[in-house]
Amino acid sequence: MKKLWGGRFEGKTDSLVEALGESVSFDQRLAPWDIRGSIAHARMLGDCGIISKADAKKIIAGLTEIGKEIEAGKFRFDIALEDVHMNVEAALAKRIGDAGKRLHTGRSRNDQCATDTRLWARDQIDAILGLLVGIERALAEFAGAHIDVILPGCTHMQNAQPVLLAHHLLAYVEMFARDHERFGELRSRVNVLPLGSAALAGTTYPIDREQVAKELGFDGISANSMDAVSDRDYLIEFCANASIAMMHLSRLSEELVLWSGPAYGFVVIGDAFTTGSSIMPQKKNPDVAELVRGKTGRVYGSLTALLTMMKGLPLTYNRDMQEDKEPAFDASDTLQLCLATTSRMLPSIKVNREAMREATKEGFLEATDLADYLVGKGMPFREAHEVVGKLVLYCSQRGKRFAELSTGEFAAASPLFTRDIFAILSPEAIVARRDNPGGTAPKRVKAALRATLKRLGAGSRK
């Protein structure tokens, strides 16, 4: 293959180098954003008198036609032209002649690529923000439909205290709301125009970077040309935010996997989101939740790949940075698919409220309230903790629950226990006592749910 930039070289490129160096097989995905950036650049070149208005008009028309062909799937990308940028530029020159060869005036593939990936990332963030609102709404609606259901809240995978299922679900809403905030904050850092930085030092042409930024919807222009062409923080941060969001999805998926199994029997996931076994007719496997859980590691891998790629690169652009796109593309695709699928799965889930309520009888979930009862009678908390701990041991040795103890047995543990102790032992009473902001009391959870739905109706975190 002849060198793309033939003036400096006499020899041909080795065929393996062509295979190693090409990126068009994956970066052709950037074509719509590449064309948008090139149209804005061409318009600016014409307006600034760097190229003629007539050439700028031809370039814009040619790029528009190429964009339509790409959208229709009729454009043929050539691996010999390395990347999406050269494919588009070569097609333009072939179509409109010398005018097309003037498009690259005042820019480099370095700042062009950085612009394309920022435009791409901005659109991905907007899509992800919408999907995050969607999963928050799905969780909130699920919570609202089960506002009176009680289940064991756990620490260390051990039953700890009873909570409302709605309170449990709203915890995940908080996680995804933070993800929404993170992506929203990232958007402002993404939305800075690098075009005009050229290869690394800026350009000698009297370009108008602000005009291009305005046309492409950027909030501003980069302050340092060397940083602008070599910065991939925004893609690393994108993958980091995607990794955190996937971690939240994975935690939710893990609970659904556990809850749908016979050991818990808390939920039944809809048929559309489960699969059977190739050999065991009775199986109904939570494959969707398992796949989401598994794909989390894939997104983590994208983050690690980008961090590893960038960690040893001196300023400015290095060819290593061609490897920035596939991890970012895959992280975005994976996160969006998992958010959309999980949001659709949630309404299919049926809750076994009786199983959840029955589970609150195991594990002495009333223990903290017994200690608080004694504190209310004047006993120091640490002493009350000791008394109730011994009472748990007493019950464990005899196979009893607190509700099965007699008044005398309570009194033997502490004379401060009287018959009114039985009024606080039900899960409903325990939940109702957590009546403070952020607590699991029904009126607090209902208020939190109303606030969540109001916020989601407004379409933002704040």
Which sequence positions are flagged as catalytic?
156, 277
Cα(first)–Cα(last) distance of the chain, in Å? Answer: 56
CB 5 within 8 A of CB 89: no
Residues forming a β-bridge with 35: none
Residue type for position 70: I
Q: Rounded CA gap, 58 and 211, in Å?
A: 19
In the numeric block, which tokens belong to residue 228? 């602008």
Entry field: residues in the chain: 462
- HSE on the CB side for 1, CA within 13 Å? 17
Q: Rounded CA gap, 376 and 17, in Å?
A: 78
Which one-letter DSSP state was computed for residue 5? S
Residue type for position 424: I
In the numeric block, which tokens belong to residue 207? 């370009």
Pairing type for strands 192-193 and 350-351 reads unpaired
Q: What contacts 445, CB < 8 A, 6 or more positions away?
A: 143, 147, 164, 166, 167, 170
Backbone angles phi, psi at 151, to 5 degrees: -145, 170
Q: Rounded CA gap, 421 and 405, in Å?
A: 11
Q: What contacts 209, CB < 8 A, 6 or more positions away?
A: 193, 195, 196, 221
Residue type for position 184: G
Helix segments in 360-441, DSSP class H: 367-376, 381-398, 407-413, 427-433
Angle, helices 165-190 vs 442-458, to 10°: value is 30
How far are the Cα atoms of 129, 159, 264, 368, 441 from residue 402, in angstroms, in the given order?
47, 15, 22, 12, 22
Pairing type for strands 350-351 and 150-155 reads unpaired
